[in-house]
């Protein structure tokens, strides 16, 4: 998913665009580019393959002209390799006075391109985006009306797109259109902004408007108009951004990921704030729209992708244990293609950090059309998922810039706990004392996370020692199993090492064949006080793999003396209610992956081939 920014106003446009792109680079970093209409009325475009810094250096050496209107783009490649030619913006028409940037995929680009080729149009790139640029330029040549030309073309496009356009002959306006891809307006004084999320302009304004599905924005320095694709005017309420630009900066940390791991005591505290009282009672006013449904729901389906799906798996354990409702976790991109059974008493919980993951959006739209109610768990104000759901539970983790999720993951898990306790209270499936005790334990988590973070030197050193490992396995039981999966995913994402997470009980059903001498295996060990005796079972698993030469690294509860006798390395986390342990046990795994990646000389914030919010649909 690409990053886009647009600006009309008195500031130095190039500085505004490059600053916005820097904060959006997590959305794509294969190439970057900007177009401005300078004060002489001439369109200037500069674009470069590679990370944004290459473009910045190029503009520094050969500056663009002074300008007060422009658009910028940072790309995650879909159609066409990451080259200078395929980078955005793309120019349209023979005169090349029109510049266009695009986030998403135009599904019918092939037939549209054939139409243009038959008309004699030449293409300079392999992208679907350039098709839209030429179509709009052709319409403008006919009508001399940029808004009408833009409206005509976007109605012809299929798929997911946010498109920004400007034209040298109309130097005071940027046009934008949105379908199935994010777009937010920033409102300033004598200036206005566009972005794929609020990070694009939060340095300049806290006032924002989310653009709806199939809507067009007409952006001028002193006015913003919104209309639908048919041309009818739309009124939308603005909202205030609840964080500032400093939250999206490294603040002296070696990487955004290092900062975001360290942010977790605060992000979890912010997720709990005003939702859990000092006596442990959970209050979720955001769920008021679900008041009539929650007592009678007979099934919960969670839809999510990647790390968010593992957070949902932890939530499944909590909801089933505390609220006694059956829960299934579905990968969003598989959900609607298997003809799932949905009823009016089904609650679909959609989990997404960005709230713009297309697979999850399509899954929730399918669920709503089938009559189910949708609750979103989301981190981004004004996101499409939050707007389209029947209710939203914001995680309040703040901006997460590193592509690999850390603080959003732990905040999602905590939101799941809150949801489980809220439903349990409504349905009286646990006593008030039990629920309040758990609520009080939730309030202790920020300090316990800080405790874990203050004792990480050992895991950092160990990660560096294993930088040449070819395979790392992760094992867990019960709520430790999703954490094993998440630990393996983090290592894949950051260090490009083959890693797999398994339920420890599955070991002798096949995975034990992977064990060989020297093989590092990370085991999330349950509490020795676990009433289901899973601790003893996991210790047996450890012995089975050690007898085959594996090197065991254990994540265990403080005071667990037995595990120290069976593992080469043990990293302890504070004693905590077993259901809450994932929030603590995942942190050493985050640090292990980050440090191992750094030891290999890799970019932990921007892993190869990955971007923050992607479309599989």
Which position among 97, 316, 551, 612 bears the catalytic label?
Answer: 612
Pairing of strands 31-38, 43-49: antiparallel
Tokens standing for residue 44:
């200037």
User: Cα–chain-centroid distance for residue 550?
Assistant: 35
**3 state SS of 388:** helix
Tokens standing for residue 58:
């190029």
Cα torsion at 595, 601, 603, 604 (round to 10°)? -10
Cα torsion at 27, 33, 34, 40 (round to 10°)? 180
Residues 9 and 173: their CA atoms lie apart, in Å, by: 10
How many CB atoms are located within 10 Å of the residue 26 CB?
A: 28
Task: Look at phi and psi of residue 146 and say left if phi exceeds 0, alpha if psi is from -120 to 50, else beta.
Answer: alpha
**3 state SS of 84:** coil
What does the DSSP assignment read for 321-359? HHH---EEEEEHHHHGGG-----TTEEEEEEESSS--HH
Contacts of 401 (CB under 8 A, 6+ apart): 23, 26, 199, 248, 256, 260, 605
User: Cα–chain-centroid distance for residue 33?
Assistant: 23
What does the DSSP assignment read for 532-591? T-HHHHHHHHHHHHHTTTPEEEEEEETT-HHHHTT-SEEEEE----GGGTHHHHHHHHHH
Write out the H or E segment, with its range, that includes residue 208. strand 207-210
| 378 labelled catalytic | no
**146-154 and 129-143 helices, crossing angle to 10°:** 140
Which position among 2, 22, 48, 551 bears the catalytic label?
Answer: 2
The residues that are catalytic are 2, 612
């Amino acid at each position: 998913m690409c990053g886009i920014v647009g600006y009309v106003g008195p500031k130095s446009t190039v500085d505004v665009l490059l600053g916005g792109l820097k904060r959006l680079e997590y959305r794509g970093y294969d190439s970057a580019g900007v177009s401005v209409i300078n004060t002489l009325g001439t369109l200037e475009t500069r674009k470069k393959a590679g990370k944004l810094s290459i473009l910045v250096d190029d503009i520094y050496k050969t500056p663009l002209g002074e300008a007060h209107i422009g658009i910028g783009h940072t790309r995650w490649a879909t159609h066409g390799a990451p080259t200078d030619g395929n980078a955005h913006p793309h120019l349209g028409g023979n005169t090349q006075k029109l510049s266009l940037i695009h986030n998403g995929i135009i599904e019918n680009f092939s037939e549209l391109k054939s139409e243009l080729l038959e008309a004699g149009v030449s293409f300079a790139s392999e992208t679907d985006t350039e098709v839209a640029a030429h179509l709009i330029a052709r319409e403008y040549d006919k009508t001399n009306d940029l808004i009408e030309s833009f409206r005509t073309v976007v109605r012809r496009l299929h798929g997911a797109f946010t498109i920004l356009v400007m034209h040298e002959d109309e130097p005071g306006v940027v046009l934008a259109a949105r379908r199935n891809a994010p777009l937010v307006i920033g409102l300033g004084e004598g200036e206005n902004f566009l972005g794929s999320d609020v990070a694009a302009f939060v340095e300049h304004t806290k006032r924002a408007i989310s653009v709806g599905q199939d809507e067009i924005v007409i952006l001028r320095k002193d006015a913003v108009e919104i209309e639908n694709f048919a041309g009818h005017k739309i009124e939308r309420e603005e909202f205030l951004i609840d964080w500032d630009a400093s939250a999206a900066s490294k603040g002296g940390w070696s990487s955004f990921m290092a900062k975001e791991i360290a942010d977790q005591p605060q992000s979890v505290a912010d997720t709990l704030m005003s939702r859990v009282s000092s006596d442990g009672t959970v209050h979720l006013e955001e769920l008021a729209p679900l008041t009539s449904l929650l007592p009678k729901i007979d099934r919960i389906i969670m839809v999510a992708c990647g790390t968010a799906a593992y957070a949902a798996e932890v939530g499944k354990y909590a909801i089933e244990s505390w609220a006694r409702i059956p829960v299934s976790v579905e990968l969003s991109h598989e959900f609607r293609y298997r003809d799932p059974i949905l009823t009016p008493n089904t609650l679909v919980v959609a989990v997404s950090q960005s709230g713009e993951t297309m697979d999850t959006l399509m899954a929730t739209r399918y669920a709503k059309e089938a009559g189910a109610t949708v609750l979103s768990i989301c981190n981004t104000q004004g996101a499409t998922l939050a707007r389209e759901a029947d209710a939203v539970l914001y995680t309040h983790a703040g901006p997460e810039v590193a592509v690999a999720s850390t603080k959003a993951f732990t905040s999602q898990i905590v939101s799941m706990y809150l949801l489980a306790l809220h439903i349990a209270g409504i349905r009286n499936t646990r006593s008030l004392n039990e629920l309040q005790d758990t609520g009080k334990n939730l309030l202790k988590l920020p300090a316990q996370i800080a405790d874990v973070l203050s004792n990480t030197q050992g895991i950092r050193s160990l990660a560096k020692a294993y930088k040449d490992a070819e395979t790392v396995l992760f094992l867990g039981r019960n709520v430790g199993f999703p954490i094993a999966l998440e630990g393996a995913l983090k290592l894949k994402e950051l260090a490009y090492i083959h890693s797999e997470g398994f339920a420890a009980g599955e070991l002798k059903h096949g995975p034990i064949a992977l064990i060989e001498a020297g093989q590092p295996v990370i085991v999330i060990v349950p509490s020795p006080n676990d009433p289901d005796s899973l601790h003893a079972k996991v210790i047996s698993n450890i012995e089975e793999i050690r007898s085959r030469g594996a090197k065991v690294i254990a994540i265990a509860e403080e005071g667990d003396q037995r595990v120290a006798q069976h593992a080469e390395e043990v990293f302890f986390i504070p004693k905590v209610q077993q259901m809450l342990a994932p929030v603590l046990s995942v942190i050493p795994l985050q640090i292990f992956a980050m440090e191992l990646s750094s030891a290999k000389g890799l970019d932990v914030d921007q892993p190869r081939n990955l971007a923050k919010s992607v479309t599989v649909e």
